[in-house]
Amino acid sequence: MPGFPVEADAVPELPEVETTRRGLAPHAVGERVLAVTVREPRLRWPVDPALPAALAGQRIEAIDRRAKYLLLRTGAGRLMVHLGMSGSLRVLPAGTAPAAHDHIDIVLGSGLVLRYNDPRRFGSFHWLPGDDDHPLLAHLGPEPLGDGFDGTYLYRLSRGRRAPVKVFIMDARVVVGVGNIYAAESLFLAGITPRRPAGRIAAARYSALAGHIRAVLTAAIAQGGTTLRDFVGTDGRPGYFAQQLWVYGRGGESCRRCGAPLRECRIAQRASVYCVACQR
C-alpha cells in the first residue's frame, strides 16, 4: 500500500501517547460507541467515509498502543489513531460545543465524548476491520519497554552499521518510540556521544544504553510525558518531564553533571545536544 512511511516522525512521542492511552482507558473501555461525527476528514490521510458506520454500535474492549499509534479495539476491528504533531484526544461531556480544530467526536453511551483536536491536521484515523493489519504497523521494531528489547538485541543489530548511534536508536525498524528527546537523554545518561557509529559500540555499553532508554521512557510516562508546546493530556494539562531534561534543548548551557558547555550539532537533520566531557 504506497504512500505510508514506516512511522511518522512527529511529536507527541511515545510517553505522550502512552499517557493519553492511560487517560482515555478508564472512560472508554467497556463503553459502546453511539455515534462518530467527522467534521473535518482532511487529516494527513483522508478519513474513510465508512468509518462512522463501522465504529458506531461497537463496544470498546481495550485501548492498546503500538509505537505512537493508539488502537481502540472492538469486536469488529480496531480504530488506529495517530495524534500527529499537534493532535490530542480529550474526554468531554457529549454536549460540549466543538471549538476550532475539533475534527472528530466519538460519542459514548456514558454521555462522554472522545474529541480529537488537531490544528495542523497531521494526525490520522484508520479503521482496521476484523484482524486486518496496516502498512503503518508493518516492519516496526520491538517496544522499548517490552521483553524483546535489551542491550544484546541492540548490539547484534548494530554490527556493521556506520550510521551514528542516535540515528540507529531512532530508527523505528530497530526499536519504536525512541524519538529525538528521549534518544538524546538516554545517550547522555549512558555516556555515549550521539555521533559515534552504531557498529563501534561495545556490548556492555549497549546494555547500559538499553537500560537508560527504558528508565527515561518509564519516568516520562510516570510524569505525564514531556512538556511540548503542542501537547496536552486528556485532562488538558501538559506533562512535566521536561523540567528534568539533561541535554535536550539545552545547547550552549552548562552540563548539569560536570559544568562543561553543552554542544549542539545536527545529526540526520535533527538538532542534537550532548556533553563533550561526559559522552564518549
Q: Catalytic residues, which ones? A: 12-13, 68, 270
Q: Binding residue per annotation — 161?
A: yes
DSSP conformation letters of 170-234: T-TTTSSS--HHHHHHHHHHHT--TTSBGGGS-HHHHHHHHHHHHHHHHHHHHTTS---TT---T
Distance CA 233, CA 12 (A): 10
Residue with cell 494527513: 44
Residue 97 neighbours by CB distance under 10 Å = 6
C-alpha cell recorded at residue 61: 474492549
Distance from CA of residue 154 to its chain's centroid? 20
Task: Spell out the residues 6+ positions from residue 200 whose beta carbon is closer than 8 angstroms to its own.
Answer: none
How far CA 132 is from CA of 77, 171, 231, 270, in Å, comes to 8, 24, 30, 34
Instruction: Give the bridge partners for 112, in sequence order.
Output: 93
Query: Which ranges in the chain belong to alpha helices (H)?
Result: 14-28, 51-55, 151-158, 165-169, 180-190, 203-222
Distance CA 185, CA 212 (A): 8
- Please state the residue numbers annotated as binding site for DNA: 101, 120, 161
- Please state the residue numbers annotated as binding site: 101, 120, 161
